Amino acid sequence: MSSSIEDLRQANRTLRTTLTRFRSLGISAAVVEFSSLRNQMRQAGDCLQHVSPNAAPDVEWEKEVSEYRSNLMQLQQVLPSVYGHLQVEKQRLETALDHLQAVHAWTRARTASL
């Protein structure tokens, strides 16, 4: 079970770091490795599934599970804002790309006419 506790602790550290970045830097400044976060959550989920329901109560394990649950609930509250920000950023980038493509087309047409 010590390996499972360590995996769960690592998942909690990753979640805490992610949540701290969102809170301290703001969503627009936060750079989140979603694949890393997803992998940590998947690993924690595997740990939780492989624990025997008949296992003796372990205070450390229960503390980590409780913290993990709390971290997931906080992440659930933050993710809609992250999604909204990403949608706005995607639109901004698409607009900038459209502008660059128009400038490039104008430059080619201007060069061809000279």
Domain residue limits, the chain = 2-113
Model confidence at 32, in pLDDT bands (50, 70, 90)?
low
Between CA 95 and CA 45, with CA 19 as vertex, the angle to 5 degrees is 105
For the question of whether the overall pTM of this predicted structure is more than 0.85, the answer is no
Distance CA 82, CA 103 (A): 31
Angstrom distances, CA of residue 2 to CA of 5, 22, 33, 106: 5, 30, 26, 64
Summarised one tens digit per residue, pLDDT across range 78-109 is 888 888 888 888 899 999 999 999 999 999 99
Model confidence at 74, in pLDDT bands (50, 70, 90)?
very high
Summarised one tens digit per residue, pLDDT across range 44-71 is 888 888 877 777 778 998 999 999 999 9
